[in-house]
Amino acid sequence: MDGTKDWLKQRLPEEATCDILQKEMNKREQSSGFAIGVIGWGFVGQATGLGFGSSPKNKIFWYDKFKESQNTLEEVIKNSDFIFICVPTPIFENYSGMDMSIVEGVIGEVASKITGTHKILILKSTSLPGTIKKMSKKYPGVNFVMNPEFLTQKNANKDFLNPARTVIGVENKDLGFRIQELYKTILPKDQEYIITDPTSAEVIKYMSNLILASKIILANEFYFLSQKVGANYNDVSRAVEADPRIGTFLGVPGWDGDFGFGQACFPKDMVGILGLAKDLKVDMSALEAIWKKNLKVRKHRDWEEMPQAFKKQK
Protein backbone atom coordinates (compact mmCIF):
# COMPACT_ATOMS: atom_id res chain seq x y z
CA MET A 1 0.00 0.00 0.00
CA ASP A 2 2.93 2.40 0.31
CA GLY A 3 3.03 2.42 -3.47
CA THR A 4 -0.65 3.34 -3.53
CA LYS A 5 0.08 6.85 -2.23
CA ASP A 6 2.55 7.47 -5.05
CA TRP A 7 0.09 6.05 -7.57
CA LEU A 8 -2.62 8.38 -6.30
CA LYS A 9 -0.44 11.47 -6.22
CA GLN A 10 0.30 10.98 -9.92
CA ARG A 11 -3.42 10.98 -10.68
CA LEU A 12 -4.79 13.62 -8.30
CA PRO A 13 -4.35 17.36 -8.67
CA GLU A 14 -1.91 19.01 -6.28
CA GLU A 15 -4.72 20.79 -4.45
CA ALA A 16 -6.35 17.45 -3.59
CA THR A 17 -7.10 17.26 0.13
CA CYS A 18 -6.15 14.49 2.56
CA ASP A 19 -9.83 13.49 2.66
CA ILE A 20 -9.91 12.93 -1.09
CA LEU A 21 -6.65 11.00 -0.90
CA GLN A 22 -8.07 8.81 1.88
CA LYS A 23 -11.29 8.14 -0.08
CA GLU A 24 -9.32 7.10 -3.14
CA MET A 25 -7.15 4.80 -1.01
CA ASN A 26 -10.32 3.25 0.45
CA LYS A 27 -11.68 2.59 -3.05
CA ARG A 28 -8.40 0.96 -4.08
CA GLU A 29 -8.37 -1.20 -0.94
CA GLN A 30 -11.92 -2.40 -1.62
CA SER A 31 -11.19 -3.29 -5.25
CA SER A 32 -7.94 -5.13 -4.55
CA GLY A 33 -8.77 -6.73 -1.20
CA PHE A 34 -7.13 -6.26 2.16
CA ALA A 35 -3.79 -7.24 3.64
CA ILE A 36 -4.45 -8.27 7.24
CA GLY A 37 -1.94 -9.11 9.94
CA VAL A 38 -2.66 -10.98 13.17
CA ILE A 39 -0.25 -11.03 16.11
CA GLY A 40 -1.12 -13.77 18.58
CA TRP A 41 -2.66 -17.05 17.36
CA GLY A 42 -4.78 -18.16 20.30
CA PHE A 43 -8.54 -18.64 19.97
CA VAL A 44 -9.10 -14.90 19.36
CA GLY A 45 -6.26 -14.57 16.85
CA GLN A 46 -7.27 -17.70 14.97
CA ALA A 47 -10.91 -16.63 14.80
CA THR A 48 -9.79 -13.25 13.47
CA GLY A 49 -7.40 -14.64 10.87
CA LEU A 50 -9.64 -17.45 9.67
CA GLY A 51 -12.67 -15.17 9.72
CA PHE A 52 -11.14 -12.51 7.46
CA GLY A 53 -9.52 -15.26 5.43
CA SER A 54 -12.97 -16.59 4.56
CA SER A 55 -13.08 -13.88 1.88
CA PRO A 56 -10.84 -14.74 -1.09
CA LYS A 57 -10.08 -11.02 -1.48
CA ASN A 58 -8.24 -10.87 1.83
CA LYS A 59 -4.65 -11.95 2.40
CA ILE A 60 -3.73 -13.02 5.93
CA PHE A 61 -0.33 -12.84 7.64
CA TRP A 62 0.09 -14.10 11.19
CA TYR A 63 2.73 -14.47 13.87
CA ASP A 64 2.77 -15.93 17.37
CA LYS A 65 5.89 -15.75 19.51
CA PHE A 66 5.15 -19.13 21.08
CA LYS A 67 4.07 -21.08 17.99
CA GLU A 68 5.53 -22.13 14.68
CA SER A 69 4.11 -19.28 12.64
CA GLN A 70 3.18 -18.69 9.03
CA ASN A 71 5.19 -15.44 9.03
CA THR A 72 7.76 -13.53 11.03
CA LEU A 73 6.73 -10.47 13.01
CA GLU A 74 8.62 -8.29 10.53
CA GLU A 75 6.70 -9.83 7.60
CA VAL A 76 3.36 -9.26 9.32
CA ILE A 77 4.19 -5.59 9.92
CA LYS A 78 5.63 -4.99 6.45
CA ASN A 79 2.92 -6.74 4.43
CA SER A 80 -0.22 -5.77 6.38
CA ASP A 81 -2.30 -2.61 6.22
CA PHE A 82 -4.50 -3.72 9.13
CA ILE A 83 -2.62 -5.24 12.09
CA PHE A 84 -4.68 -6.96 14.79
CA ILE A 85 -3.17 -7.52 18.23
CA CYS A 86 -4.69 -10.63 19.82
CA VAL A 87 -2.35 -11.42 22.71
CA PRO A 88 -3.24 -12.37 26.31
CA THR A 89 -4.09 -9.98 29.12
CA PRO A 90 -3.85 -12.30 32.16
CA ILE A 91 -4.68 -11.45 35.75
CA PHE A 92 -2.08 -11.53 38.50
CA GLU A 93 -1.89 -14.58 40.74
CA ASN A 94 -2.85 -12.51 43.80
CA TYR A 95 -6.03 -11.30 42.02
CA SER A 96 -4.94 -7.67 42.34
CA GLY A 97 -5.60 -6.74 38.73
CA MET A 98 -4.75 -7.33 35.09
CA ASP A 99 -1.28 -7.56 33.55
CA MET A 100 -1.14 -5.32 30.47
CA SER A 101 2.60 -5.80 29.85
CA ILE A 102 2.20 -8.26 26.96
CA VAL A 103 -0.13 -5.96 25.04
CA GLU A 104 1.99 -2.89 25.71
CA GLY A 105 5.16 -4.76 24.73
CA VAL A 106 3.72 -5.84 21.38
CA ILE A 107 2.37 -2.36 20.69
CA GLY A 108 5.85 -0.99 21.35
CA GLU A 109 7.42 -3.43 18.88
CA VAL A 110 4.93 -2.60 16.14
CA ALA A 111 4.42 1.13 16.73
CA SER A 112 8.02 2.07 16.07
CA LYS A 113 7.78 0.50 12.61
CA ILE A 114 4.46 1.99 11.47
CA THR A 115 4.61 5.51 12.90
CA GLY A 116 3.60 8.05 10.29
CA THR A 117 2.22 5.46 7.85
CA HIS A 118 -1.33 4.64 6.71
CA LYS A 119 -1.22 1.29 8.55
CA ILE A 120 -3.80 0.72 11.29
CA LEU A 121 -3.02 -0.97 14.62
CA ILE A 122 -6.17 -2.65 15.93
CA LEU A 123 -6.36 -3.91 19.49
CA LYS A 124 -8.57 -7.01 19.87
CA SER A 125 -7.15 -8.05 23.24
CA THR A 126 -9.44 -7.12 26.11
CA SER A 127 -7.72 -4.07 27.57
CA LEU A 128 -8.35 -1.85 30.56
CA PRO A 129 -10.26 1.36 29.81
CA GLY A 130 -7.76 4.06 28.95
CA THR A 131 -5.25 1.74 27.25
CA ILE A 132 -5.63 3.16 23.74
CA LYS A 133 -5.58 6.71 25.10
CA LYS A 134 -2.35 5.93 26.95
CA MET A 135 -0.74 4.28 23.91
CA SER A 136 -1.84 7.11 21.60
CA LYS A 137 -0.02 9.61 23.78
CA LYS A 138 3.08 7.43 23.85
CA TYR A 139 3.03 6.77 20.08
CA PRO A 140 1.31 9.82 18.54
CA GLY A 141 2.06 8.89 14.93
CA VAL A 142 0.17 5.58 15.02
CA ASN A 143 -3.41 4.95 13.85
CA PHE A 144 -4.92 3.13 16.86
CA VAL A 145 -8.28 1.36 16.92
CA MET A 146 -10.02 -0.52 19.73
CA ASN A 147 -12.09 -3.35 18.26
CA PRO A 148 -13.18 -5.64 21.12
CA GLU A 149 -14.13 -9.26 20.53
CA PHE A 150 -17.26 -10.89 21.92
CA LEU A 151 -16.32 -14.52 21.32
CA THR A 152 -17.11 -17.61 23.33
CA GLN A 153 -14.08 -19.82 23.80
CA LYS A 154 -15.99 -22.90 22.62
CA ASN A 155 -17.32 -21.41 19.38
CA ALA A 156 -14.92 -18.56 18.60
CA ASN A 157 -14.69 -19.12 14.83
CA LYS A 158 -18.46 -19.25 14.40
CA ASP A 159 -19.01 -16.30 16.74
CA PHE A 160 -16.55 -14.14 14.79
CA LEU A 161 -18.62 -14.46 11.62
CA ASN A 162 -21.95 -14.00 13.41
CA PRO A 163 -21.53 -11.05 15.80
CA ALA A 164 -24.50 -9.32 17.42
CA ARG A 165 -22.67 -6.03 16.82
CA THR A 166 -19.26 -4.82 15.70
CA VAL A 167 -17.77 -2.16 17.97
CA ILE A 168 -15.08 0.12 16.54
CA GLY A 169 -13.35 2.59 18.87
CA VAL A 170 -11.51 5.42 17.09
CA GLU A 171 -10.58 9.06 17.52
CA ASN A 172 -10.74 9.58 13.76
CA LYS A 173 -14.06 8.55 12.17
CA ASP A 174 -12.35 7.91 8.81
CA LEU A 175 -10.38 5.11 10.47
CA GLY A 176 -13.66 3.70 11.74
CA PHE A 177 -15.11 3.65 8.24
CA ARG A 178 -11.99 1.86 6.93
CA ILE A 179 -12.43 -0.85 9.57
CA GLN A 180 -16.11 -1.07 8.69
CA GLU A 181 -15.24 -1.61 5.02
CA LEU A 182 -12.85 -4.36 6.07
CA TYR A 183 -15.60 -6.18 7.96
CA LYS A 184 -18.02 -5.80 5.08
CA THR A 185 -15.91 -8.34 3.16
CA ILE A 186 -17.07 -11.09 5.55
CA LEU A 187 -20.16 -9.95 7.49
CA PRO A 188 -23.83 -9.67 6.43
CA LYS A 189 -25.05 -6.49 4.74
CA ASP A 190 -27.35 -5.70 7.67
CA GLN A 191 -24.56 -6.01 10.27
CA GLU A 192 -24.80 -3.39 13.04
CA TYR A 193 -21.68 -1.25 13.45
CA ILE A 194 -21.12 0.96 16.48
CA ILE A 195 -18.37 3.52 15.88
CA THR A 196 -17.38 5.26 19.09
CA ASP A 197 -14.27 6.51 20.89
CA PRO A 198 -11.62 3.99 22.05
CA THR A 199 -12.28 4.29 25.78
CA SER A 200 -16.01 3.73 25.31
CA ALA A 201 -15.22 0.66 23.19
CA GLU A 202 -13.03 -0.67 26.02
CA VAL A 203 -15.81 -0.14 28.58
CA ILE A 204 -18.38 -1.78 26.28
CA LYS A 205 -16.40 -5.01 26.35
CA TYR A 206 -16.15 -5.10 30.15
CA MET A 207 -19.76 -4.14 30.77
CA SER A 208 -21.01 -6.75 28.29
CA ASN A 209 -19.03 -9.59 29.84
CA LEU A 210 -19.65 -8.66 33.45
CA ILE A 211 -23.40 -8.23 33.07
CA LEU A 212 -23.42 -11.77 31.65
CA ALA A 213 -21.25 -12.96 34.55
CA SER A 214 -23.59 -11.29 37.03
CA LYS A 215 -26.60 -13.00 35.46
CA ILE A 216 -24.92 -16.35 36.01
CA ILE A 217 -24.45 -15.69 39.72
CA LEU A 218 -28.04 -14.44 40.14
CA ALA A 219 -29.26 -17.55 38.33
CA ASN A 220 -27.19 -19.70 40.68
CA GLU A 221 -28.82 -18.08 43.70
CA PHE A 222 -32.33 -18.71 42.35
CA TYR A 223 -31.33 -22.29 41.52
CA PHE A 224 -30.38 -22.94 45.15
CA LEU A 225 -33.54 -21.18 46.34
CA SER A 226 -35.65 -23.31 44.00
CA GLN A 227 -34.12 -26.45 45.47
CA LYS A 228 -35.01 -25.34 49.00
CA VAL A 229 -38.64 -24.44 48.25
CA GLY A 230 -39.31 -27.33 45.86
CA ALA A 231 -39.58 -25.32 42.63
CA ASN A 232 -38.65 -26.75 39.22
CA TYR A 233 -35.72 -24.58 38.20
CA ASN A 234 -35.83 -25.71 34.57
CA ASP A 235 -39.35 -24.33 34.30
CA VAL A 236 -38.38 -21.22 36.24
CA SER A 237 -35.41 -20.39 34.03
CA ARG A 238 -37.32 -21.15 30.81
CA ALA A 239 -40.12 -18.79 31.79
CA VAL A 240 -37.73 -16.06 32.88
CA GLU A 241 -35.67 -16.38 29.70
CA ALA A 242 -38.84 -15.85 27.67
CA ASP A 243 -38.70 -12.18 28.67
CA PRO A 244 -36.64 -10.52 25.88
CA ARG A 245 -35.38 -7.93 28.37
CA ILE A 246 -33.62 -10.69 30.31
CA GLY A 247 -32.53 -13.14 27.62
CA THR A 248 -30.69 -16.42 28.07
CA PHE A 249 -27.63 -17.52 30.07
CA LEU A 250 -29.62 -18.75 33.08
CA GLY A 251 -28.77 -22.45 32.93
CA VAL A 252 -27.55 -23.93 36.25
CA PRO A 253 -25.23 -25.77 36.54
CA GLY A 254 -23.36 -24.38 33.53
CA TRP A 255 -22.37 -26.25 30.39
CA ASP A 256 -19.29 -27.57 32.23
CA GLY A 257 -21.37 -29.01 35.07
CA ASP A 258 -20.03 -26.50 37.58
CA PHE A 259 -21.60 -23.57 39.39
CA GLY A 260 -20.72 -19.90 38.88
CA PHE A 261 -18.59 -18.81 35.93
CA GLY A 262 -15.18 -20.03 34.82
CA GLN A 263 -13.00 -20.27 31.71
CA ALA A 264 -10.72 -17.37 30.82
CA CYS A 265 -12.82 -14.33 29.95
CA PHE A 266 -15.28 -13.61 32.77
CA PRO A 267 -12.91 -14.17 35.73
CA LYS A 268 -10.06 -12.14 34.27
CA ASP A 269 -12.36 -9.33 33.15
CA MET A 270 -13.92 -9.21 36.61
CA VAL A 271 -10.55 -9.04 38.35
CA GLY A 272 -9.24 -6.52 35.83
CA ILE A 273 -12.08 -4.05 36.20
CA LEU A 274 -12.19 -4.38 40.00
CA GLY A 275 -8.47 -3.66 40.14
CA LEU A 276 -8.93 -0.58 37.96
CA ALA A 277 -11.91 0.59 40.04
CA LYS A 278 -9.83 0.30 43.20
CA ASP A 279 -7.04 2.37 41.66
CA LEU A 280 -9.53 5.02 40.54
CA LYS A 281 -11.44 4.90 43.85
CA VAL A 282 -14.71 4.01 42.07
CA ASP A 283 -17.28 2.09 44.12
CA MET A 284 -18.09 -1.18 42.33
CA SER A 285 -19.19 -3.08 45.42
CA ALA A 286 -22.00 -4.87 43.57
CA LEU A 287 -19.52 -6.42 41.13
CA GLU A 288 -17.19 -7.17 44.02
CA ALA A 289 -19.98 -9.11 45.73
CA ILE A 290 -20.65 -11.03 42.49
CA TRP A 291 -16.98 -12.02 42.29
CA LYS A 292 -16.82 -13.11 45.94
CA LYS A 293 -19.93 -15.24 45.44
CA ASN A 294 -18.39 -16.84 42.36
CA LEU A 295 -15.27 -17.81 44.28
CA LYS A 296 -17.54 -19.35 46.92
CA VAL A 297 -19.74 -21.48 44.64
CA ARG A 298 -17.26 -22.36 41.91
CA LYS A 299 -15.79 -25.80 42.52
CA HIS A 300 -13.10 -25.71 39.84
CA ARG A 301 -11.13 -22.51 39.26
CA ASP A 302 -10.18 -23.55 35.75
CA TRP A 303 -8.90 -20.08 34.81
CA GLU A 304 -5.95 -20.63 37.14
CA GLU A 305 -4.78 -23.39 34.78
CA MET A 306 -4.86 -21.15 31.69
CA PRO A 307 -1.67 -19.18 30.97
CA GLN A 308 -3.59 -16.71 28.81
CA ALA A 309 -5.82 -15.87 31.77
CA PHE A 310 -3.67 -16.33 34.86
CA LYS A 311 -0.13 -15.11 35.41
CA LYS A 312 1.63 -17.22 38.03
CA GLN A 313 4.51 -15.74 39.96
CA LYS A 314 7.87 -17.28 39.13
Per-residue confidence at 114, pLDDT binned at 50, 70, 90?
very high
pLDDT computed for residue 18 by the predictor: 45
**What confidence score (pLDDT) does residue 307 get?**
84
Residues 193 and 212 in one domain: no
Do both 120 and 30 map to the same domain? yes
Number of domains in the chain: 2
- Confidence class for position 32, pLDDT limits 50, 70, 90: low
CATH assignment at residue 80: 3.40.50.720
Q: Is residue 278 over pLDDT 60?
A: yes
Give the model's confidence band at 249: pLDDT under 50 very low, under 70 low, under 90 confident, else very high.
confident
pLDDT at 206 > cutoff 60: yes
Q: Specify the 3-state DSSP secondary structure of 145.
A: strand
Give the chain's mean pLDDT.
Answer: 90
End position of a domain, from candidates 197, 226, 259: 197
DSSP summary character for residue 55: S
pLDDT higher for 4 or 137? 137
pLDDT tens-digit readout, 44-62? 999 999 999 999 999 999 9
Do 62 and 184 share a structural domain?
Answer: yes
pLDDT band at 3 (very low <50, low <70, confident <90, very high): very low
Q: Which residue has the higher pLDDT, 168 or 15?
A: 168
Nearest to 48 by CA among 101, 85, 102: 85
User: Given a cut of 80, is residue 78 above it in pLDDT?
Assistant: yes
- The 8-class DSSP code of residue 140 comes to T
- CA angle, 84 then 63 then 156, to 5°: 60
| Active centre residues (catalytic) | 265
Structural domain harbouring 168? 2-197
Pair (123, 44) in one structural domain: yes
Is 284 found in the same domain as 160?
Answer: no
First to last CA, the chain: 43
- CATH for 272: 1.10.1040.10
Domain boundary among 146, 176, 197: 197
Spell out the alpha helix ranges (H) of the chain. 2-11, 18-32, 43-53, 73-79, 101-114, 131-138, 156-161, 173-183, 198-229, 233-241, 265-280, 285-297
Low-confidence winner among 28-32, 58-62, 124-128, 243-247 (lowest mean pLDDT): 28-32
Q: Answer whether residue 126 shows pLDDT above 70.
A: yes
Give the predicted TM-score (pTM) of the model.
Answer: 0.87
